[in-house]
Amino acid sequence: MPLLQGKTGIVFGVANKRSIAWAIAQALSREGMRLAFTYQGERLKANVEELCAAMPDSLILPCDVTSDAEIDAVFKEVGDKFGGLDALVHSVAFAPREDLENDFVNTSREGFKTAHDISAYSLVGLTRAALPLFEKSGSGAVLALTYYGAEKAVEGYNLMGVAKASLEATIRYLAANLGPKNIRVNAISAGPVNTLAARGIKGFTGMLKHHAERAPLRRNVELEEIANAALFLISSMSAGITGEVLFVDGGYNIIGL
């Protein structure tokens, strides 16, 4: 029997076929999970619909994570169609381009607020809205995506690194808060992969090359490897794990000089 047969989940952050969120969705669907997807704006709607066309019984809904009303509408629809919910995948992040490219000391106040709202607070808002559906299912698994720039200053990552640090702290506090309800909250810190979002980082090509040269495995990670780690953290195989950040980066994070 597939590992997630009879389970349901929702995935935020699919943009195209190279998205980490899409790789994770494919792994979850392969193991039997019925999925809902969200998109922001008409520009991404067609991409998500095309990708999900072959996925059985999927649900596709609009959602701007800065809008509590849209978040509530999404989870009402998911509740009506799915009944309960077993998993939530958060692969959402944004910072204004100028605040990524400028020296960090020149980060704008508005950019700082925007990056934290979309990249970190959204996990709180989405998890809160999912809570009644998790409770109906008797448990829940929340998974977010982060990066090593949350722990160390990575050239070019700037404001996004600070927002990801906030996200990682959010994960720990949510895990502590929701553990008594049998809801687990974890994250994957993936090595650099060539996604639409990553291409917005100044010097990203050099980052890929450096990572492949320095990581113990001497290569960059594949989307499938990240997706399989996500499957582990969402499934019952990781039932005793919460509040953790799992590195899937070829070992890069263990290296000093």
Residues 6+ apart with CB under 8 A from 178: 127, 131, 140, 184, 185
State how far the Cα of 64 lies from the Cα of 204, in Å rounded to an integer: 27
Residue type, 96: P
Six-digit token string for 12 = 């935020």
Nearest C-alpha neighbor of 59 from the set 93, 33, 91: 33
Would you please indicate which residues are annotated as catalytic (active-site) residues?
147, 157
Q: Write the CA distances from 11 to 15, 123, 137, 154, 213, integer angstroms.
A: 11, 12, 17, 28, 32
Tell me how many helices (H) and strands (E) the chain has.
9, 7
Distance linking the first and last C-alpha atoms of the chain: 46
Q: Write the CA distances from 235 to 65, 145, 187, 214, integer angstroms.
A: 25, 16, 14, 31
**How many other C-beta atoms are found inside a 10 Å radius of the C-beta of residue 2?**
12
What is the β-pairing status of strands 87-90 and 34-39? Answer: unpaired
Q: Is the dihedral of CA 34, 92, 245, 213 positive or negative?
A: positive
